[in-house]
């Protein structure tokens, strides 16, 4: 008999594309009259449909775990909440983990519950380019052990799926389902405020993973070659102060804090750049396609899916500033070709749209 009760494990409710995917999934399930319990650290009920099918369990930072990073603290606290909820509710429920999968797997297996995880990054890339190499290896080994106990694993890109196959013994557990990210396909044309400068846009978390500083250096080098460029950086993160210090006094680079709706920034830019060390399926790159901004991406997980192996944009090697700089220069000098590539990707953008919600529904509800 099909279950109609889903427990979504999402400890850290944060700004960004991952949360947008969560909201789309929750709203779709409740519309289907599936009872959803969302375990997270913030009650963002205003972002989801208010109805009798949704219950939000808010888990606050636990003082017992004061000595570990915030995200780990919240993950362990959420694990205790999940344990308590499953013990007090004996219904036939399924755990759907969208973050911090190992705690969710441990609790689910102890209590004999089925669990599906949505893997949001490419494990091998995340380990290779981890801030802390030792910790990265420990996390990878943990995934190799615990992921094999999951009933099903959802990969969100081809590269992520291939990476997961290296750590999951039963390959048939892995299903590729793209993010149900695009709600509305943009029909507006980009509106340039000024044609005096070529506007380059970066959006997202300002962290080591996003590898933003080489983009700044590349832009500065091109400006020294008399290219008129302005670089817009929009985001927040632990490298914000470092970036502020680097661009201090540079009128050709601006830094703005993250806000949820940055549609206007996309529509007034000429080029989008993603230069990450690793990703899962970068939603910011999907946004660039939706707003028809020519895009350059490092060869991370999801880049080939979104840019159609380079037919829809430009893919450069990871952490290769020389190639990145040459590609930016090429796009500026061959802008019509760049626009034609992005139009190719835009025509196929529905693969990252709402139709994937049905795939999530069938994979989870029919397990």
pLDDT, one tens digit per residue, over 59-92 is 887 777 777 777 788 888 899 999 999 998 877 8
pLDDT at 333: 96
Residues of the chain with CATH 3.40.50.2000: 5-183+352-365, 198-351
pLDDT at 89: 81
CATH architecture of 5-183+352-365: 3-Layer(aba) Sandwich (3.40)
pLDDT at 1: 40
pLDDT at 194: 53
**β partners of residue 229:** 198
pTM assigned to the model: 0.89
At residue 236, φ and ψ (nearest 5 deg) are: -155, 155
Taking the C-alpha atoms of residue 229 and residue 95, their distance in angstroms, rounded to an integer, is 48
The string of pLDDT tens digits covering residues 12-34 is: 887 667 788 888 999 999 988 89
pLDDT at 63: 72
Residue 364 tokens read as 């989870």
The string of pLDDT tens digits covering residues 276-300 is: 999 999 999 999 999 999 999 999 9
Work out the average pLDDT over 236-263.
Answer: 89
pLDDT at 44: 64
The string of pLDDT tens digits covering residues 307-327 is: 999 999 999 999 999 999 999
Which ranges of the chain does DSSP label H, i.e. alpha helix?
17-31, 70-88, 101-110, 123-128, 133-146, 158-164, 213-224, 240-247, 263-267, 283-290, 303-306, 321-333, 335-346, 355-365
Q: Count of CB atoms within 10 A of residue 27's CB?
A: 18
Does domain 198-351 fall under CATH 1.10.3720.10? My reply is: no
Closest CA to 151 of 124, 120, 112: 112
Q: Count of CB atoms within 10 A of residue 140's CB?
A: 18
pLDDT at 103: 95
Taking the C-alpha atoms of residue 114 and residue 367, their distance in angstroms, rounded to an integer, is 8
Residue 46 per-residue DSSP state: G
């Amino acid at each position: 008999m099909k279950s109609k009760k889903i427990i979504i494990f999402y400890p850290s409710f944060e700004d960004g594309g991952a949360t947008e995917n969560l909201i789309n999934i929750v709203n779709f399930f409740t519309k289907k009259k599936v009872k959803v319990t969302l375990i997270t650290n913030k009650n963002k009920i205003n972002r989801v449909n208010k109805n009798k099918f949704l219950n939000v369990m808010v888990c606050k930072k636990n003082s017992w775990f004061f000595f570990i990073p915030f995200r780990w603290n919240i993950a362990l606290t959420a694990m205790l909440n999940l344990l308590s909820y499953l013990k007090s509710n004996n219904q036939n429920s399924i755990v759907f983990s969208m973050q911090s999968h190992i705690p969710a797997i441990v609790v689910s297996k102890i209590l004999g519950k089925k669990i599906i995880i949505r893997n949001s990054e490419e494990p091998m890339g995340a380990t290779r380019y981890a801030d802390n190499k030792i910790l990265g290896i420990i996390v990878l080994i943990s995934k190799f052990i615990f992921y094999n106990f999951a009933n099903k694993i959802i990969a969100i890109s081809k590269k992520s799926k291939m990476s997961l196959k290296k750590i999951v013994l039963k390959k048939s557990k892995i299903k590729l389902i793209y993010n149900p990210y695009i709600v509305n396909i943009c029909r507006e044309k980009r509106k340039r405020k000024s044609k005096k400068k070529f506007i380059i846009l970066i959006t997202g978390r300002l962290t080591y993973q996003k590898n933003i500083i080489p983009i700044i250096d590349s832009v500065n080098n091109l400006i020294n070659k008399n290219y008129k460029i302005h670089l817009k950086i929009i985001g927040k993160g632990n490298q914000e102060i470092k970036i502020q210090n680097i661009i201090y006094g540079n009128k050709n680079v601006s830094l703005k804090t993250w806000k949820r709706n940055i549609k206007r920034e996309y529509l007034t830019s000429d080029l989008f750049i993603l230069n990450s060390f690793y990703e899962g399926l970068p939603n910011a790159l999907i946004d660039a396609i939706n707003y028809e901004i020519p895009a350059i991406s490092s060869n991370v997980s999801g880049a080939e899916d979104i840019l159609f192996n380079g037919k829809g944009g430009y893919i450069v090697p990871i952490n290769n500033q020389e190639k990145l700089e040459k590609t930016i220069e090429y796009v500026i000098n061959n802008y019509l070709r760049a626009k034609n590539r992005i139009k190719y990707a835009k025509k196929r953008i529905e693969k990252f749209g709402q139709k994937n919600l049905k795939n999530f529904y069938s994979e989870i509800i029919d397990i």
